[in-house]
Chains A and B, each alone.
Chain A
Amino acid sequence: MSSSIAVPLSAAGARDEAVPLVDYGLIRAHLYAAFACLALSMLAGFLYSLQFLGYYPFTEGRLAELLSPGHVRLMHTNLVAYGWLVNGFTGMLYYVVPRLTGERVLSRGLGTLIFWAWQLILVLAAVGYLLDHGQAIEWGETPTGFRPGTFELVYVPVDALVTVGAVLVILQFMVPLYRARHQKYYVTLWYFTAGLVWLALTYLMGNVLPEWVLPGASGAAVTGLFIHDLVGLYVTPMGWGLMYFFVPLILRKPIWSHSLSVIGFWALAFFYPLGGVHHFLLSPIPDYVEFGAISTTIAIEIVVTTVIVNFFMSLRGSWDKLRTSFALRWFYTGAVMYMITCFQCAFQTTWAFQEIIHFSDWVVGHAHMIMFGTFTFWVYGVIDWLWPRVTGRRWYSTSLRSWHYWLSAIGIVLMFTILTAGGLIAGYMQKDLNPWEQIIDAQAPFWLFRTVTGALLIIGMLCQAYNMVMTAKAGKPFEEEEAPAESPEPVA
């Protein structure tokens, strides 16, 4: 397959021609695992939502204890973060990093090891949740460690394993990045380099400090920072890194403004992590710390605008591509949702908004908008582009791709709307001192609708899963028919 992005031809890249630059087997494995996790996670979310309708299926005996709604909720969020997104992003790094640096990843064997180790970690974490060993750190519930059953000697240190896994992933990709240290570094690599470092630091900070060192309110400042950094310093850099790679590739022209890319990156790196404490506003954390977090959160909004402007200006003159490229459609729909979520951030970080919305479904809507509407959409989009290339086959069905897109897009917008509305109502009812039973009653119709929108997302996902499997099995052979694109680098 011809290189469709201008790869700097370093001598190192040509060292051993027998080993291909990009290892498609690893990408395929990670993408399959990612999709399996996504399916399980969505199923868990759906189950959890049934609890709110009074139709929770597991209410008897041992099953009720193992698959209690609380446990299922842990599965839902953690499978999205550590199963779907980490697997998906890692698979994509295997494609993008060698392509941009001209260097192979450290080792194929290490790749296989990382793949299986990571899936094992996910299974161990899941077993931990079911046996009541989740950790009290939001988005970091991965157990510190636990003894399954009665084997006193068997200890499963999940957090330590995750850390080792993260370090291996860093090794795998830092080596090609390091080898490219003398080259001019493209924007995507900025995000990946920093994002990989941030991932390890964030995970360590969040899982160690509040657990062992910092009690109560000072620990809360760190868990707030952890929730924040995991999304902002891992998921976001990986997401934008992919966008800076794939959007120019598909549009066949460079990103509109390099200066805006620079501003966007550095402002994210500098301002974003300062906002961590905004997850616990109006709490016993000192006010001056809260004010710092609030003002930097508002500052972030300006940054986001630069990035969004940059991407939409890049689209100028190429809008028709949205009609022909599914991948681009996913990317830009995701970008719009990103803009909406970040616009929300600037307001909901204020005390005035916090008073009403903080403990309500508004925040749940916000989280789904960013984790599904943006990042899952982007991963969907990259899969749409990558899958024919890693399987060597054309998409099996175009109409299924269309169904996948429209069900997901309509589903997530409706889900966001309904959760936001229900959240506002519940928030005001709390302030108005309505009895809790009435607050529950008021939310019931919204919860029902939420389950329905969730079903739309699941049906969309199933269309895609079926399409992926059938493509790999029965798709027509895929040839890169178009001419290689120009370099995504800015034209000087």
Chain B
Amino acid sequence: MERFYTFLFVAGLGCFAIAFVLSMIFPWMSLGSYHGMEYKTLEDLAARPSVEFVELSKSYPQDFAQAFGSAEPTAAAFAEALQRGRDLYVGQACWHCHSQYVRPVANEDLRFGPVSVAQEYQNALAQPHLWGTRRVGPDLSREHGKRTNDWHVAHFINPKNVVANSVMPRYDFYFSFDADGRVRPSKDALSLITYVQWLGSESGRR
């Protein structure tokens, strides 16, 4: 028994396969079409530009037009902003300091909002999911509508602007300033705010 092939096939392939079936195939089957959960593409999600996105286009028309090609907050521009925002959220590893799911314990529904359900992650912006495993900052999956765009601008430029003892890094490199001190958000800044403001808007919409 204690031979090469035993360990190659039984342990190496066999045991791996059993675990793979149990922890991948099963959840995938019960989370997939079985319960009638449909998958939403980026275009589905971005069909209706959010109020926050529209507001960004009005507050920063010049920067907005420069970023998305026109001053009009179209569905295509919204999709682009969401995707870019998500990419930055991943690339800057925001997800190592923020979680994106609300658990049914520890009073999280009181602190953050409705407990997460599988359906809200069945879409292109949650692939791969960004649940995270550490909360240095709060959960962001119910961020939608919680703060104003202006709050986020002030916060990303320097979190200490709004929370004196914040340990969140500054993201002021996504902004520039006019000669008269006005904030000029870059495309990255607009996208990040759009994405953060979008988080959780799927939970109410079924």
CB A342 to nearest CB in B, in angstroms, measures: 18
**Binding-face segment, B49-57, B64-72, B102-110, B142-150:** B102-110
Given A270-B15, A440-B167; A217-B27 close (CB under 8 Å): yes
Instruction: Please judge, given known A-B contacts A71-B93, A218-B31, A284-B101, whether A223 and B129 are in contact too, CB under 8 Å.
Output: yes
Q: How far is the CA of A341 from the CA of B44 in the complex (A)?
A: 45
Residue of B nearest to A274 (CB): B19
Highest count of chain B CB atoms <10 Å: which of A73, A265, A285: A285
- Asked if A106 is at the interface of the complex by the 8 Å CB criterion, the answer is no
Asked if A218 and B11 make an inter-chain contact with CB atoms under 8 angstroms apart, the answer reads no
Q: CB-defined interface of B96-135 with A at 8 Å, one 1/0 digit per residue?
A: 1101010111111011000011101111101111111111
Binary A-proximity of B17-57 (CB < 8 A = 1, otherwise 0): 01110111011101110000001000000000000000000
CA distance A181 to B90 in the complex (A): 45
B135 touches A197 (CB 8 A): no
Contact B137 A136 (CB under 8 A): no
Known: A215-B126, A274-B19, A274-B22. A68 touches B2 (CB 8 A): no
A69 touches B127 (CB 8 A): no
| Minimal beta-carbon separation of B6 from chain A (angstroms) | 8
The one of A64, A205, A222 in contact with B170, judged by C-beta atoms closer than 8 angstroms, is A64
Find out whether the CB atom of B24 lies under 8 angstroms from the CB atom of A222. yes
Partner of A436, one of B22, B105, B127, B137: B137
> What is the CB-to-nearest-CB distance from A229 to chain B, in angstroms, rounded to a whole number?
8
Tell me which of A159-167, A188-196, A465-473 binds B. Answer: A188-196
- Interface pair B4/A178, CB less than 8 Å apart: yes
Of B4, B19, B131, the most chain A CB neighbours within 10 A belong to: B19
Tell me the bound Cα distance from A276 to B163 in angstroms. Answer: 37
Residues of B within 8 A of A430 (CB): 106-108, 111, 135
From A63, which residue of chain B is reached at the shortest CB distance?
A: B173
Are A276 and B92 closer than 8 Å at their CB atoms? Answer: no
User: For the complex, what is the distance from the CA of A135 to the CA of B90, rounded to whole Å?
Assistant: 7
Cβ of A23 within 8 Å of any chain B Cβ, yes or no, is no
Segment of A147-155, A353-361, A383-391 engaged in the interface with chain B: A353-361
Known: A54-B167, A210-B128. A221 touches B4 (CB 8 A): no
Binds B, one of A9-17, A83-91, A286-294, A317-325: A286-294
Partner of A210, one of B20, B103, B129: B129
B15 & A269 in contact (Cβ 8 Å cutoff): yes
Total chain B interface residues with beta-carbon distance under 8 A: 77
B199 interfacial by beta-carbon distance below 8 Å: no
Q: Which of A134, A280, A437 contacts B90 (CB 8 A)?
A: A134
Let me know if B13 and A197 touch, CB within 8 A: yes
B6 to chain A: which residues have CB within 8 Å? Answer: 185
Check B28–A197 contact: CB distance below 8 A: no
Query: In the bound complex, what is the Cα–Cα distance between A350 and B132 (angstroms)?
Result: 19
Shortest Cβ gap from B178 to chain A (Å): 18
1/0 contact trace for A161-204 toward B, CB 8 Å?
Answer: 00000000000000001101110110001100110111001100
The reply to whether B8 and A351 form a contact with Cβ atoms under 8 Å apart is no
A316: Cβ under 8 A from any B Cβ: no
B127, A440: Cβ atoms under 8 Å? no
Most buried by A among B13, B103, B104, B170: B103
**CA of A443 to CA of B26 in the docked complex: distance in angstroms?**
39
B59 an interface residue at 8 Å Cβ cutoff? Answer: no
- Is A392 interfacial (CB-CB < 8 Å)? no
Report the bound CA distance from A289 to B29 in whole Å.
12
Tell yes or no: B179 within 8 A of A by CB: no
Contact status B5-A181, CB under 8 Å: yes
B133 touches A279 (CB 8 A): yes
- Contact B107–A433 (Cβ < 8 Å): yes
Q: Mark B142-164, 1 if CB is under 8 A from A, else 0.
A: 00000000000000000000011
Contact A51 B24 (CB under 8 A): no
Residues in chain B near residue A440, CB distance under 8 A: 165-167
> How far does the alpha carbon of A180 sit from the alpha carbon of B5 in the complex, in Å?
10
Find the residue from A64, A70, A211 having the highest chain B CB count within 10 A: A70
Residues of A within 8 Å of B99, CB to CB, are 359
Q: Assess the B27–A285 pair: CB atoms within 8 A.
A: yes
A193 and B30 contact, CB distance less than 8 A? no
Task: Known contacts A225-B23, A283-B116; decide if A68 and B92 are in contact (CB<8 Å).
Answer: yes
Q: Are A211 and B128 closer than 8 Å at their CB atoms?
A: yes
Contacts of A196 in B (CB 8 A): 12
Whether A219 is near chain B, meaning CB under 8 Å from some CB there, is yes
**Residue numbers in B under 8 Å from A220 (CB-CB):** 121, 129, 131
Q: In the complex, what residues of B have CB within 8 A of residue A266's CB?
A: 11
B165 contacts A441, C-beta separation under 8 Å: yes
- Assess A233 versus B16: contact at CB under 8 Å? Given A217-B121, A218-B32: yes
Q: Which residue of A lies closest to B17 (CB)?
A: A201
A374 to chain B, nearest CB (A): 20
| B12 contacts across to A, CB distance below 8 A | 193-194, 196-198, 201
Q: Are A221 and B131 neighbours in the complex by a CB distance under 8 Å?
A: no
The 5 closest A-B pairs by CB, nearest first: A216-B121, A132-B91, A197-B12, A273-B19, A70-B93
Residues of B within 8 A of A (CB): 2-8, 10-13, 15-16, 18-20, 22-24, 26-28, 30-32, 39, 87-88, 90-97, 99, 101, 103-108, 110-111, 116-118, 120-124, 126-138, 163-167, 169-173
Residues of A near any B CB (own CB < 8 A): 51-52, 54, 56, 59, 61-62, 64-65, 68-71, 73-74, 131-138, 141, 177-178, 180-182, 184-185, 189-190, 193-194, 196-198, 201-202, 205, 209-211, 214-225, 229, 233, 265-266, 269-270, 273-274, 276-277, 279-280, 282-286, 288-289, 292-293, 351, 354-356, 358-360, 363-364, 427, 430-433, 436-437, 440-441, 444, 447
A-B contact pairs, 12 of them (CB 8 A): A52-B136, A70-B94, A177-B4, A182-B3, A210-B129, A216-B31, A216-B127, A218-B31, A218-B32, A219-B127, A223-B129, A289-B22
Extra 13 A-B pairs, beta carbons < 8 Å, given A134-B90, A221-B24, A363-B134: A74-B96, A132-B91, A136-B128, A185-B4, A194-B8, A197-B16, A214-B24, A216-B126, A219-B129, A221-B28, A359-B133, A359-B134, A430-B106
